[in-house]
Amino acid sequence: MTITIYMACALAAGVLVPLQAGINTSLAQRTGSSLSAALISFSVGTLALVLTLVFSRTHWPKVGVFGEIPPGLWLGGLCGAILVWASIICAPKLGAATLISLIIAGQLTASLVFDHFGWLGFPVHELSSGRVLGLVLLATGILLIKKF
């Protein structure tokens, strides 16, 4: 695939973030619990992944592989659960645009650090004035979104 296709895929995935936050917030209102809504969301997602794995005929990992996975690599699901739960709690108070812009700011800040140090297997991209300016412009955008 070309880089353009990957960029379009990432953009499309980004569209799903506020959609997911809105759906999960409505679910929390109907169930009366943000944690229940997050659990339902992850249960549906897990079912979708299992069905995709089965129907795509992707091979299942061997049982022994699970014991070889370093403990820190199990935290990805926890990160996702926290993100979904925080979105459910914050969306009604912040609105979709402020919520998502703050999530993006957190993602960008962490990404700049991960890139600079090459953490988690990312290729090293040193921090530069242009990258810092991008973060400052994003912060300015958040303030404008929140104000107006």
What is the C-alpha separation between 89 and 99, in angstroms, rounded? Answer: 10
- One domain for residues 29 and 60: yes
Residue-level pLDDT at 123: 94
Alpha-carbon 89 to chain mean position: 15
- One domain for residues 49 and 77: yes
Contact 25, 88 (CB under 8 A): yes
- One domain for residues 28 and 61: yes
Does 12 map to a domain? no
- One domain for residues 99 and 137: yes
- One domain for residues 66 and 88: yes
Residue-level pLDDT at 116: 97
Number of domains in the chain: 2
Does 59 map to a domain? yes
Amino acid at site 65: V
What is the C-alpha separation between 121 and 115, in angstroms, rounded? Answer: 9
Mean pLDDT of the chain: 94
Residue-level pLDDT at 17: 92
pLDDT tens digit sequence for 81-91: 999 999 999 99
Does 53 map to a domain? yes
Give me the mean pLDDT over the 123-135 stretch. Answer: 96
- One domain for residues 90 and 132: no
- One domain for residues 115 and 82: no
Does 52 map to a domain? yes
Does 79 map to a domain? yes
Give yes or no for residue 1 having a pLDDT over 90.
no
**What is the band of 136 on the pLDDT scale with cuts at 50, 70, 90?**
very high
Give yes or no for residue 134 having a pLDDT over 90.
yes
Question: What is the domain extent for residue 78?
Answer: 19-94
pLDDT tens digit sequence for 3-56: 999 999 999 999 999 999 999 999 999 999 999 999 999 999 999 999 999 999
**What is the band of 59 on the pLDDT scale with cuts at 50, 70, 90?**
confident
Does 31 map to a domain? yes
- One domain for residues 27 and 71: yes
- One domain for residues 63 and 46: yes
- One domain for residues 80 and 114: no
